[in-house]
Amino acid sequence: MSAPPPLGIDFGGTGIKGAPVDLATGDFAAERVRIPTPRPATPDAVAAVFVELLAAFPEATGPVGVTVPGIVRHGVVGSAANIDDSWIGVDADALFSEATGREVHVVNDADAAGLAEVRYGAAAGHRGLVILTTLGTGIGSAMVHDGVLVPNSELGHLLVDGAIGGSTGAAVAEERASNRARETEELSMEEWAARLTDYYRHLERLFSPDLFLVGGGISKRSEEFLPLLDIDTEIIPATLRNKAGVVGAALHAVHAAG
Ligand code: BGC
């Protein structure tokens, strides 16, 4: 008998989405379920949603992976840039495992997307250093070298010291170049692309990657801004779109469960 499929859960700002994942193909093994994110999205409130979500998939008895939009070290959440502060210091693996009675492993949201894209998506089979950036409310990042993830790279939090879009003084990269910055400052695609060029050039200088992948909801409009970037490294849109979190979380769960 083959192992029961793992279940991936993508914990986002507006929705919590889950599905069992067929690791042979990277596809969902059953139709995805989405439950609105509770407000406030405290760890306990979110755990209650996971219990509800798991009940929808009685056959998916394998390990459970969960994305978290913050630093995660050995199951403990270390930062909360865009989520409730009460997450900081929480052993989320322990909390969710206890709440659900299942083996649960959390992973940074961008790291999950990076794992999924390198295994099944835009960077499948790519060797060398692949850097995924997700352009959303913040900027998430995943650094994957020859298929191996270096977790918690947090490249959205680089201090860019005036180097993005002519800002003066030190600035956190995601505050200048995320999709939220584009929306709130009502930047044109050209203006935003100029900031992204500064940002990716900074990453090029630091890491000399072989490939950049661009994820996040705005990546479906990549033809409107990627051609405007002036950088040396190949840069392409991620392809798994809103499946990446769920699939990557499931991959992480299986890996972490050993
Ligand atoms: C957080 C990252 C996260 C990213 C995307 C950033 O603000 O620090 O951990 O991956 O947002 O959600």
Spatial contact of 209 and 78, defined as CB atoms under 8 Å apart: no
Q: Is residue 118, in this structure, part of any structural domain at all?
A: no
91 in the same domain as 54: yes
> CA-to-CA distance for 120 and 109, rounded, in angstroms?
17
Q: Is residue 54, in this structure, part of any structural domain at all?
A: yes
Per-residue pLDDT tens for 156-168? 999 886 667 666 6
The pocket around ligand 1, CB under 6 angstroms, is made up of 69-71, 79, 81-82, 108-110, 134, 136, 138, 140, 154, 156-157, 174
Nearest atom in ligand 1 to the alpha carbon of residue 157 is 8
Write out the chain's pLDDT in tens, 258 residues: 578 899 999 999 899 999 999 999 999 999 999 999 999 999 999 999 999 999 999 999 999 999 999 999 999 999 988 888 999 999 999 999 999 999 999 999 999 999 999 999 999 989 999 999 999 999 999 999 999 999 999 999 998 866 676 666 788 999 999 999 999 999 999 999 999 999 999 999 999 999 999 999 999 999 999 999 999 999 999 999 889 999 999 999 999 998
Q: Is residue 27, in this structure, part of any structural domain at all?
A: yes
Alpha carbon of 82 to ligand 1 centroid (Å): 7
> CA-to-CA distance for 249 and 107, rounded, in angstroms?
7
The residue whose CB lies within 8 Å of the most ligand 1 atoms, and thus the one to mutate among 72, 139, 149, 150, is 139
Lookup result for tokens 């100029």: 194
23 in the same domain as 53: yes
148 in the same domain as 99: no
Distance of CA 38 to the CA centre of its chain: 20
Q: What is the pLDDT of residue 167?
A: 62
Residue with the nearest Cα to atom 9 of ligand 1? 70
Spatial contact of 53 and 18, defined as CB atoms under 8 Å apart: yes
210 in the same domain as 143: yes
Q: Is residue 26, in this structure, part of any structural domain at all?
A: yes
Name which of 140, 128, 141, 40 is nearest 84 in CA terms: 40
Q: Is residue 52, in this structure, part of any structural domain at all?
A: yes
Residue with the nearest Cα to atom 5 of ligand 1? 140
Name which of 108, 88, 99, 107 is nearest 45 in CA terms: 99
138 in the same domain as 58: no
199 in the same domain as 227: yes
The residue whose CB lies within 8 Å of the most ligand 1 atoms, and thus the one to mutate among 84, 174, 175, is 174
CATH code at 225?
Answer: 3.30.420.40
Domain, as residue range, for 135: 125-239
Collect all residues with Cβ–Cβ distance below 8 Å to 125 and sequence separation of at least 6.
Answer: none
Q: How many domains does the chain have?
A: 2
140 in the same domain as 90: no
218 in the same domain as 198: yes
Burial of 258 (0-12, 13-18, 19+ CB in 10 A): exposed
Alpha carbon of 138 to ligand 1 centroid (Å): 6
171 in the same domain as 252: no
Q: Is residue 82, in this structure, part of any structural domain at all?
A: yes
Nearest atom in ligand 1 to the alpha carbon of residue 109 is 10
> CA-to-CA distance for 84 and 213, rounded, in angstroms?
28
Alpha carbon of 33 to ligand 1 centroid (Å): 23
Q: What b/e sequence results for 40-58 when a residue is b if at least 16 CB atoms lie within 10 Å of its CB, and e otherwise?
A: ebbbeebbebbeebbebbe
Lookup result for tokens 């405007």: 228
> CA-to-CA distance for 149 and 114, rounded, in angstroms?
8
99 in the same domain as 28: yes
Collect all residues with Cβ–Cβ distance below 8 Å to 190 and sequence separation of at least 6.
Answer: 228
Nearest atom in ligand 1 to the alpha carbon of residue 111 is 10
DSSP state of 159: B
Burial of 118 (0-12, 13-18, 19+ CB in 10 A): buried
Alpha carbon of 254 to ligand 1 centroid (Å): 23
Per-residue pLDDT tens for 167-215? 667 889 999 999 999 999 999 999 999 999 999 999 999 999 999 999 9
Name which of 51, 59, 60, 47 is nearest 86 in CA terms: 47
The residue whose CB lies within 8 Å of the most ligand 1 atoms, and thus the one to mutate among 72, 107, 108, 111, is 108
Residue with the nearest Cα to atom 2 of ligand 1? 70
227 in the same domain as 146: yes
Q: Is residue 117, in this structure, part of any structural domain at all?
A: no
Q: Is residue 174, in this structure, part of any structural domain at all?
A: yes
Residue with the nearest Cα to atom 4 of ligand 1? 140
251 in the same domain as 201: no
